[in-house]
Structure 1
């Protein structure tokens, strides 16, 4: 067995699973299969209002609109695997709205559960890494906009060039061991506060 595959399977041993499904023979079959894999399994029905904080994978029944809905799923929440029996428009809409990472078709059989878990958990991890990159990019863009705005403030107040204003911000960031974005935010906040007190005129337009 390849090391990467072995590591994925080992991660499942002891993983905290929550099965949200009426307690019947199919539910029992799913729970027993998860236990055979080595997972720690809990059961809930109807769906809980809040999710246990230590659960990392949820198997959740998706039925028609008159059945209980999903618990609140945070963006960085656990892997969600939907259990579906019908594929009518209502169920498909609820499936899409759930943002599930994988699907198990009823009637539930032991075959395919492990593969579904591995793929779903991998997809969830990939999505989380993308979200982290997006947030970092958004933070970077915001910092650049703040620096541009702070530069314009310094140019207007100190009657210096944009190059000199940028260098002042850079030097302050180096001396105080802060990012240029943090220094820029401080300058913008001070300008807005003093401007509101009538010490300075109206702030310069936002940088684009």
Structure 2
């Protein structure tokens, strides 16, 4: 697990997109981010898609509701974390915030420590999420491979009278002789036995 100093060092050079109206608050946010070493970009109004960035800070404004929802709906599971800036609480704003699904929320008036904390926590949470998604993908690939090998063994056992151990050895032997994976051999066996004899 990373230590706090190494996490703070990671903020140096971090690309941060600030989606915010051109006003004094934008200058304050940009100044704080630059002070901790972030590379800041700015855009407004809300874009249709996020450009390449590490973190996005989004001013959640009711007049931009449709654009905000369209942007968030188009984000993939590996999209950078979004930190929402909100100014007041009412049912409409809370609903928009829930639909936006930000990684963190900063309430106005902004405080430098709060901004730093939320950027850091959002980035840490995003990295954990990406690692977890990668592990899930690896498990899905492994599960698919194991399922194919298991199906191929079952076919060899049913069609050729192999025992389970012999069926496994046959697939291993073919993989070694053909210099390919056991999964590739299993796929060939499944394809060859896909039609009844």
RMSD: 2.4
How far apart are the structure 1 equivalents of 2:10 and 2:103? Answer: 17
Tell me the CA shift for residue 138 of structure 1.
Answer: 2.0
Classify 1:150/1:90 alpha carbon distance in 2 versus 1 (closer, same or farther; 3 Å): farther
1:53-89, Cα deviation, whole Å (9 max, x unpaired): 2x11100122448622152322122122111223334
Tell me the CA shift for residue 124 of structure 1.
Answer: 0.8
Partner residue in 2 for 1:78: 80
Pairing 1:139-178 to 2, within 5 Å after superposition: 139-178=141-180
1:7-34, Cα deviation, whole Å (9 max, x unpaired): 2222212211100111121122111111
TM-score (norm 1): 0.80
| Equivalent position SS for 1:81 | strand
| Equivalent position SS for 2:3 | helix
Classify 1:17/1:179 alpha carbon distance in 2 versus 1 (closer, same or farther; 3 Å): same
Classify 1:187/1:123 alpha carbon distance in 2 versus 1 (closer, same or farther; 3 Å): same
The answer to whether the aligner puts 1:62 opposite 2:44 as a matched pair is: no
Tell me the CA shift for residue 41 of structure 1.
Answer: 0.8
Question: Unpaired segments of 5 or more residues in structure 2?
Answer: none
How far apart are the structure 2 equivalents of 1:190 and 1:97? Answer: 49
How far apart are the structure 2 equivalents of 1:87 and 1:175? Answer: 68
Could you list the structure 1 runs, at least 4 aligned residues long, displaced by more than 6 angstroms after superposition: none
How far apart are the structure 1 equivalents of 2:84 and 2:180? Answer: 45
The answer to whether the aligner puts 1:23 opposite 2:22 as a matched pair is: yes
Partner residue in 1 for 2:36: 37
Q: Is the 8 A contact 2:15 2:39 kept in 1?
A: yes
How far apart are the structure 1 equivalents of 2:96 and 2:153? Answer: 49
1:169-206, Cα deviation, whole Å (9 max, x unpaired): 122234445443332233223434xx3xxxx45xxxxx
Question: Unpaired segments of 5 or more residues in structure 1?
Answer: 202-208
| Equivalent position SS for 2:68 | coil
TM-score (norm 2): 0.84
How far apart are the structure 1 equivalents of 2:18 and 2:122? Answer: 15
Q: Is the 8 A contact 2:84 2:106 kept in 1?
A: yes
